[in-house]
Amino acid sequence: MSGNSKARQGSGAAPPEAAPQAATNPAPQATNSMWGGRFDAAPDGLMTAINASVGFDCRLYAEDIAASKAHADMLVAQGIIPAADGAKIQAGLDSIREEIEHGRFEFKSELEDIHMNIEARLGELIGGAAGRLHTARSRNDQVATDFRLWVRGALQRSDAEMRDLQAALIARAEDNAATVMPGFTHLQSAQPVTFGHHLLAYVEMLGRDRGRVTDCLRRLGECPLGAGALAGTSFPIDREASATALGFDRPCANSIDAVSDRDFALEALSLAAIVATHLSRLAEELVIWSSAQFAFIRLSDGFSTGSSMMPQKRNPDAAELVRAKSGRITGALVALLTVMKGLALSYAKDMQEDKEPLFDAFDSLSICLRATAGMIGDLEVDKAAMAGAAGHGHATATELADWLVRELDMPFRDAHRVTGRVVRRADELSCRLDELSLEELQAVEPRIIAAALEVLNPLNAVASRSSYGGTAPSQVRAQVVRARERFL
Ligand code: ARG
**H-run or E-run covering 86:** helix 83-101
Per-residue pLDDT reduced to its tens digit, 163-189: 999 999 999 999 999 999 999 999 998
State the amino acid at position 276 in one-letter form.
Answer: A
Mean pLDDT score across all residues of the chain: 92
Q: In terms of pTM, does the model score above 0.85?
A: yes
Q: 435 CB contacts (<8 Å, ≥6 apart)?
A: 426
Q: What is the pLDDT of residue 247?
A: 98
pLDDT given at position 29:
53
The atom of ligand 1 lying closest to the CA of 113 is 1
The pLDDT assigned to 326 comes to 98
pLDDT tens track for 34-54? 777 888 888 899 999 999 999
Count other C-beta atoms under 10 Å from residue 218's C-beta.
Answer: 10
- Closest-CA residue, ligand 1 atom 1, reads 113
In this prediction, residue 452 carries a pLDDT of 87
Handedness of CA 367, 371, 372, 377 (dihedral sign): positive
Q: Bridge partners of 297?
A: 381
**What is the reported pLDDT for 307?**
77
Model confidence over 375-434: pLDDT tens digits?
Answer: 999 999 999 999 999 988 788 888 899 999 999 999 999 999 999 999 999 999 999 888
- The preferred substitution site among 58, 59, 140, 141 for testing ligand 1, maximizing ligand atoms within 8 Å of CB, is 140
User: Which three-class secondary structure state does DSSP give residue 298?
Assistant: strand
Give the binding-site residues of ligand 1, using a 6 Å CB cut-off.
Answer: 53, 57, 113, 139-140, 143, 347, 349, 351-352
Q: How far is the CA of 352 from the centre of ligand 1 (A)?
A: 6
* Catalytic residue list contains 291: no
Q: Of the listed 5, 102, 134, 186, which one is catalytic?
A: 186
Set 291, 307, 437, 474: catalytic member: 307
Spans of the chain, pLDDT less than 70: 1-30
Atom of ligand 1 nearest to the CA of 112: 1
The H or E element containing residue 58 is none
Q: What local confidence, expressed as pLDDT, does residue 40 receive?
A: 85
Which atom of ligand 1 is found nearest the CA of 351? 12
**Closest Cα to residue 461, out of 397, 407, 405?**
397
Residue 397: which residues within 8 A CB-CB, separation 6 or more? 419, 420, 422, 423, 433
Residues 6 or more apart whose CB falls under 8 angstroms from that of 364 comprise 276, 325, 328, 329
Helix or strand holding residue 341 (H, E)? none
pLDDT at residue 312 in the model: 80
How many angstroms separate the alpha carbon of residue 7 from the centre of ligand 1? 26
**Residue 307 annotated among the catalytic residues of the structure:** yes
Q: Which residues pair with 184 in a beta bridge?
A: 189
Give the Å distance between the CA of 395 and the centre of ligand 1: 60
